[in-house]
Amino acid sequence: MNSELIHQNDIINIIIYTFTAFLLMALVLILFFYFSRKKIVQQEVEKKNLEIAHQKELLHSIIITQEEERKRIAQDLHDDISSKLNIVSINSHLLKTPGLTFDESSEISTNIFNLTKKALDNSRRIAHDLLPPVLEKFGLHAGIEELCVEYNSNKLINASFTSFTELDKINSDKQLNVFRILQELMNNSLKHGKAKNITIIFESNSNLITCKYNDDGIGFDMNDVKNQKGLGMKNIESRISFLNGELKIISSEKKGMQVIFSF
C-alpha cells in the first residue's frame, strides 16, 4: 500500500515537474517572441523615421534649390533686363529734348535699339535656362545632344552621348528631371571635377532605364560627407527620388567619378 502511494506521489511529482517545465518553456518562448517582435517593430519604426527624415531632407533641398533658382532669375531680370529697360526709358525721354540734332537723335535711337536687342537676347537666355526649347520641342535625346554641343563649344571639355534606348518615350516630367540631373553632373565635372572628358550612356533592361555617367576629373573621397551632401548632390538625389529611381556614385581621388542612376 505504501509502495503504491509512493509510486502515485512520484507520478504526481513527475506530472507537476513536467507541467512546470512546459510552463517555463512556454513563458520563455512567449518572452522571446515578445522581445523579438518588439525589436522588429522598433527597427521598422527606426527605418520609417530614417525614411521620413530623408524625405524631409530631400524636400528641404528642393525648396532651397527652388529659392536659389528664384533668386538667380530675379537677379538676372534685375541686372540684365530691368537695368537695360531703365536706360531705354531714359533715352526715350531724351528724344523729346528740344533742339536735338539729327546725329544726336540717331545716336540715341541706335542706343535704344541695341539695348532693347540685348534685353530681348537676355530674356531668351533666361527662358532657355528655365526650359530649353530643344528639350520641349524635340525631346530628351535632342536636349542631351544640344547640352553636349554647348559644353564642347568651350573647348575645355569633350562630352559624348550614346543611347541604346528610346528616351523620348519617357513622360515629359521625367525627361526634364533627367535633363536637370545631367546638367548638374556636367556642371560639377567642369567646375569642381576639372574633368576633360565626359561620357553619357543610356541603356534599358525590361522597363528599367539606366544612365551611366563618367568623367576623368580629380574625383573625391567617398568618405568625405561634404562631397556627397553638397547642394548639387542633394538636388540630384531629390530628382532621383521624383523618378522613383536608384542612385549609385563611385569616386576616389584622382580617379574621376562614375554616377549610375536607374529609373
Greater model confidence, 145 or 109:
145
pLDDT score for 203: 93
Neighbour-count burial for 87-102, b at 16+ CB within 10 Å, e otherwise: ebeebeeeeeeeeeee
Greater model confidence, 220 or 70:
220
Mean pLDDT of the chain: 79
Half-sphere exposure of 105 (CA within 13 A, CB side): 8
pLDDT score for 260: 92
Q: Residue 126 in contact with residue 92, Cβ under 8 Å?
A: no
Q: Distance between terminal CA atoms of the chain?
A: 85
> Confidence class of residue 70 from pLDDT cuts 50, 70 and 90?
low
Q: Residue 217 in contact with residue 195, Cβ under 8 Å?
A: yes
The grid coordinates listed for 198 are: 565626359
> Confidence class of residue 161 from pLDDT cuts 50, 70 and 90?
very high
The CATH number fitting domain 134-262, selected from 3.20.20.80, 3.30.565.10, 3.40.640.10, 3.40.50.450:
3.30.565.10
Q: What phi, psi does 202 have (nearest 5°)?
A: -110, 135
Q: Alpha helices of the chain — where are they, by DSSP H?
A: 2-76, 83-94, 102-130, 133-138, 140-152, 172-191, 225-228, 231-242
pLDDT score for 11: 74
pLDDT tens string 33-44: 888 787 888 888
pLDDT score for 182: 92
Identify the three-state secondary structure at position 62.
helix
Greater model confidence, 152 or 78:
152
The grid coordinates listed for 197 are: 572628358
Question: Over 90: is that where the pLDDT of 91 sits?
Answer: no
pLDDT score for 65: 63
Residue 131 DSSP one-character state: S
> Confidence class of residue 124 from pLDDT cuts 50, 70 and 90?
low
Q: Residue 236 in contact with residue 247, Cβ under 8 Å?
A: yes
Greater model confidence, 85 or 78:
85
Only one residue has cell 539729327, namely 102
Only one residue has cell 545631367, namely 182
